[in-house]
Every structure is written in C-alpha cells, then in structure tokens.
Amino acid sequence: MNIFRLAGDMTHLISILVLLLKIYATKSCSGISLKTQELYALVFLTRYLDLLTDFISIYNTVMKLVFIGSSLAIVWCMRRHRVVRRSYDKELDTFRHYFLIAATFALAVLVYEKFTFREILWAFSIYLEAVAILPQLVMLQRSGNVDNLTGKYVFFLGAYRAFYILNWIYRYFTEARFTRWIACVSGLVQTALYADFFYYYFISWKNNAKLKLPA
C-alpha cells in the first residue's frame, strides 16, 4: 500500500464518520441525499463480493466491512429511525437515481476488463460510484445553504477520490501489471463532478463564510 491510497482510505473514512456524527449527534439528516446513500450502499455491496471468497489482509477486510456496514446503517437511519427520518428533505431529493443504476449497469455489461459475473459487478460498482454523488450535489444546489457538517462530508468524499487518482498514477509507474483503466477513467469523471463544489467550498473557507451554492 502506498501513501496516496492510505490517504484516500482515511479521507473516505473521515467522510463517513462526519456523516454519522451529523446524524447521531444532531438526530437530523437534513441536507443529506438518501438516494446518494442508497447508491453508495449498492456500490459497496457489489464491489466487495470477494469478502466471501478471498482474503487479502486484515486491514482490507476491516475497511470493506466498515464501508458496507456504515452505508447500510446510514440508509436504515434515514428510512427507519423515527426521529432522524422526519428531518429528511424528500421534496429536495428528487433526482431519479434509478436511471443511474440502469445506465451504469448497461455500461458494465458492455465495457469490462474480464467477462465474469464478479468482474462485471465490479465494473458496475466503479461506474456507479463515479456518479453516485450527483443526487447529493443536486440536492445541495437546490437548497442553496449548506450546513457545516454536510459541507465537510462532501469535501472529504471528494478528497478521497482525488487521492485515489494519485494512487493510480503512482501504481501505473511502479507496478508493471497495473491495468485498472476503468477505475482511473471513472475516478477522473467522479472528481470532475466535485469541481464546482470545491470552488465554492474554498471560497467560503477563505472568506470564513457559510457555504452557499448557486441555485
């Protein structure tokens, strides 16, 4: 493991901890897209099927279980917790995420690295993760104002992908057999989706002001 992948894993973990802190400390999921959280749960469930067959390391196994467990816990809270679910902004979270699932699955069937059931699901999870943040970004844009914890959650989530791009670049030059081009291209697309959010995030940070996104 290199420093860029470790930094990516840690910023990803921080983003989840920030989101869990917001939900459990404030008993509110206001500003959080349930649809994005459902997409991430689907991403992890389809990507980490190798937990049933392969063992790489304790670190690898623990991180995969954390991502699966936390994503399912967040979805459960937003759907079932009698206090948290009342704060869900359903009228703002209207992105038709089923189209993203259908489109990325179709792409995975057409463009993959190996024609096996698990590899096609892996490709699907990569494509879906690249666009899973869209419902969240659209929701924030519609609401305009972004609270501190929600802004930090999205920031760390975007930083995680940026670090993974550096990880892939590093591996390309240091590993003779590194060929995960699907992950590289999808990661670039995903990071590009955060560009507008990053711009306004840094502007608000520089001016010590509340984060606002243009409608």
What pLDDT, on a 0 to 100 scale, did the predictor assign at position 215? 63
- Residue 180 CB contacts under 8 Å (≥ 6 apart), including other chains: 113, 168
DSSP code of residue 131: H
Residue 22 has pLDDT above 70, yes or no: yes
Would you say 163 and 77 are in contact if contact means Cβ atoms under 8 Å apart?
no
Average pLDDT over residues 24-30: 90
Residue 191 has pLDDT above 80, yes or no: yes
Average pLDDT over residues 47-61: 90
Residue 53 has pLDDT above 90, yes or no: no
Q: Using pLDDT thresholds of 50, 70 and 90, give the confidence band for residue 178.
A: low
> What DSSP line would sit under 170-209, residue for residue?
HHHHH-TT---HHHHHHHHHHHHHTHHHHHHHHHHHHTT-
CA dihedral (101, 107, 110, 112) in degrees, to 10, reads -100
Tell me: the pLDDT tens digits for 83-115? 899 999 889 999 999 999 999 999 999 988 888
